[in-house]
Amino acid sequence: MSEITYLEAIRDAIREVMKEDESVFLLGEDIGLYGGSFGLTNGLFAEFGSERVKDTPISESAIIGTAVGSAITGMRPILEIMFSDFTGCGWDQIMNQAAKIRYMFGGKAKVPMVLRTASGGGAGFGPHHSQSLEALFAHIPGLKVVMPSNPYDAKGLFISSVYDNNPVIFLEHKCLYKNKKYAQEVPDGIYTIPLGKGEVKRPGKDISIVASSYMVQKSLEAAEILQKDMQINCEVVDLRTIRPLDIDIILESVKKTGKLMCVEEACSFGSFMGEVITQVIEKGFDLLDAPPIRIAGKNCPVPYSFILEQEMLPSVEKIKDGILNMLGKN
In a domain, 193, yes or no: no
* Single residue among 159, 186, 213 that ends a domain in this structure: 186
Q: In what order do the strands lie in the sheet with 234-238?
A: 199-202, 234-238, 207-211, 260-267, 293-297
Kindly report the length of the chain: 330
Q: What is the rounded CA–CA span in Å between residue 126 and residue 128?
A: 6
Same domain? For 295 and 152 the reply is no
Query: Do 282 and 319 fall within a single domain?
Result: yes
Write down the pLDDT at residue 2.
85
What does DSSP say about strands 168-173 and 76-83: parallel, antiparallel, or unpaired? Answer: unpaired
Query: Are 178 and 212 within one domain?
Result: no
**Phi and psi of 67, rounded to 5°?**
-65, -45
- Domain co-membership, 207 together with 182: no
CATH of the domain at 25: 3.40.50.970
Q: Assess contact for 129 and 81: CB atoms under 8 A.
A: no
Last residue of a domain, one of 164, 186, 208: 186
Each of the 330 residues of the chain gets a pLDDT tens digit; together they read 789 999 999 999 999 999 999 999 999 999 999 999 999 999 999 999 999 999 999 999 999 999 999 999 999 999 999 999 999 999 999 999 999 999 999 999 999 999 999 999 999 999 999 999 999 999 999 999 999 999 999 999 999 999 999 999 999 999 999 999 999 999 999 999 999 999 999 999 999 999 999 999 999 999 999 999 999 999 999 999 999 999 999 999 999 999 999 999 999 999 999 999 999 999 999 999 999 999 999 999 999 999 999 999 999 999 999 999 999 987
Domain match, 94 and 206 both: no
113 within 8 A of 142, measured Cβ to Cβ: no
Q: Which domain, by its residues, includes 253?
A: 199-326
**Do residue 221 and residue 106 come from a single domain?**
no
- Give the catalytic positions in this structure: 129
Return d(Cα 200, Cα 222) in angstroms, integer: 15
